[in-house]
Every structure is written in structure tokens, then in C-alpha cells.
Amino acid sequence: MAVKGDETRARLIDAARTLVEARGYFGVGLNQVLEAGKAPRGSLYHHFPGGKDQLTAEALTASGQEIDALIRSLADAVPDTRTLIESILDALADRMEGAEYAKGCPIATVALEVAATNDSLQKVCADTYGGWQQALADRLVADGRTHDQAEDLACSLLALIEGALVLARAQRSRTPIDRARRSAVILLNA
């Protein structure tokens, strides 16, 4: 694929990432993605022959990889799981506030919309969450938890983070994230 084609494809994925996170799968039309990505209609099906589902899957994958990289880089930079969770919450809260609450978790909206009706997108969401949970579990093991403890606690911490993001976005307030931080400390000290 030519450089221009690569750039067009990347613009469409970036546009879909932004729009789908803000509006959800059903709230975004392909014309909106084409307009935001500054791309002609023909380029959509050239780059994404699977249509909206393929474009959305690739957008979710890219967003998921971005958050995964954030989690893993923070895990390497901080001394313990508590500081990791606090750093993740701060980074995601800053991201949300910077987008005036149009962003939260880049996966949650689509996961809630299509989990029961679209197997391919459900799998992308499940795999993405699984990767994030594994990154948390890896850090918990590094901090001395058993594998089973780490898996259970990582699931609870991810659920806490995700719930806090949903509530913070709905309330347009950082308060749920601050409360989640305090709850995470309680979970980690239990």
C-alpha cells in the first residue's frame, strides 16, 4: 500500500476511535467517519472491506493497545500496585477531563452496546479487557501475590476502574475516580 493509502487508512482509524468512544457504535455513521477522516467514500471499503465492523474493530484494537501501553509503562515506572492504580486513574481522569468528558474508556461503550449481538466486536472488547487485566495481574504477582489472588484482584481492580470511568463520565465529575482510588487502596490492603 502506498504511503498516501497508509495515511488515509490511519486517518480513518483515528476518526473512528474518537467518534466511537464519544458516541458509541450505533451513534456513529460511516459518513461521519469519512468526514472526520477527510477521506473519500471509496477509500472506506478499499481499506476496510468488512465495513463498519472491521473499521470499529481496528479502532478498538488501536485504542486498547494505547491503554495497554499506558498500563504497562506505568507498571514499569512505579514502585507498587497501589501507585500503579492511582497513576492509571489519574491518567484516565486527565484524558477524560481534557476531552470534556467525551472520552472515558475507549472500549466500554461498544462493549455495552454490542456484547450480545456482534460476536466479532464482543471478542475484540473481551480480548482488550483481558490484556489490561493481565497487565494488572502481572504487577500484582510481581508485588508478591499468588497467581490466583492476582487474577481475582486484577479483575476487581479493572471493574473498579471501569465503573469509576463510567460514573465520572455520566456525572461529568472526577469524584467517582477519587472514590475509586480510595476503594482500590482498601482492596489492595485486604
Residues 89-101 have pLDDT tens digits of 999 999 999 999 9
Q: What is the pTM of this model?
A: 0.92
Annotate 35-69 with b (16+ C-beta within 10 A) or e (fewer): ebbebeeebbeebbeeebebbbbbbbbebbeebee
| 131: containing domain | 3-189
- The Cα 140–Cα 75 span in angstroms is 10
Residues 20-60 have pLDDT tens digits of 999 999 999 999 999 999 999 888 989 999 999 999 999 99
Q: Which domain CATH number covers 25?
A: 1.10.357.10
**What is the domain count for the chain?**
1
- The Cα 145–Cα 149 span in angstroms is 6
